[in-house]
Amino acid sequence: MAQDPFHYVGTELDVFSEAHNWRAYWTGMVRPLLGRTVLEVGAGIGSATRSLWTPAVAHWLALEPDDALSDRLRRTVAEMNAPTIEVRSATVAELPAEETFDTALYIDVLEHIDGDLEEVARVAQHIRPGGHIVVLAPAHQWLFTPFDKALGHFRRYDRRSLGRLTPDGFSMLALRYLDSVGMLASLGNRLVLRSAAPTPAQIALWDGRMVPLSRRLDGLLRFRCGKSILGVWQKLEETGTRSGRTTRAVPGA
């Protein structure tokens, strides 16, 4: 997070809450990775929770350390009528050592955490053998703008910087860029328009026109470029050695 790890200073949770095409794109890839027990870190106002949760999940723990956001998250969960979701105002560091999960999710969260290497290593201790850590984050430091800074982002990621976070006893199952068309638009916005933040009209244009194009083009481009990056790690059955970082296909959208 930004200056205070328990007070969220960003605004993109509301700004991008109506990006339905984008949410449908990445949830199609992430949902098949969900196990029976899910840990969602930095659940915010519950946009990802609402999009990903299914009754097949026996226990979904949504962590949100910001008190104001966790209150909104509880209201979202109440509206969902999802009895298997538990909301907790806490961080991964506060989890009991014996509490383990099949899947951990960081959906547009890891870029807000200063010590990302330590964070991933910490959550890895709570993943069961064969389970997954899933990260969706903004891509490419050269796209970093004042808007990122205003949102409390410490960084944007590329394959190398995200791959280096691979924890002991895990293999990199998948690593791909998403939204190739959006990347070009973001670059143009940065170089030409020099806009500090996207306008609602720009967001509507991106989600309505560009994201559907990206869904068609990203696969053809073999997920080699995009303004977001999706990383998936899997815990090995035998831990104690640092894994090789092979890249395989994630489930399709």
Phi-psi region of 198 (alpha: psi -120 to 50; beta: other; left: phi over 0): beta
CA dihedral 81, 83, 85, 87 (to 10 degrees): 90
* Beta strands 127-138 and 101-107, pairing class: parallel
Neighbour order of strands in the sheet with 228-235: 85-88, 59-63, 37-41, 101-107, 127-138, 228-235, 170-178
Task: Indicate the pTM of the whole model.
Answer: 0.90
pLDDT tens digits in sequence order for the chain, 253 residues long = 334 555 544 455 566 778 999 999 999 999 999 999 999 999 999 999 999 999 999 999 999 999 999 999 999 999 999 999 999 999 999 999 999 999 999 999 999 999 999 999 999 999 999 999 999 999 999 999 888 888 899 999 999 999 999 999 999 999 999 999 999 998 887 765 556 677 888 889 999 999 999 999 999 999 999 999 999 999 998 644 444 434 334 666 5
- The full set of domains in the chain, from first to last, is 12-235 (3.40.50.150)
Q: How far apart are CA 121 and CA 206, in angstroms?
A: 34
Question: Is the CA virtual torsion 144, 147, 149, 151 positive or negative?
Answer: negative
The DSSP code for 169 is: T
What residue spans of the chain are helical by DSSP H? 12-15, 20-30, 47-52, 67-80, 116-124, 146-150, 159-163, 180-188, 200-205, 211-220
CA 245 to chain centre: 20
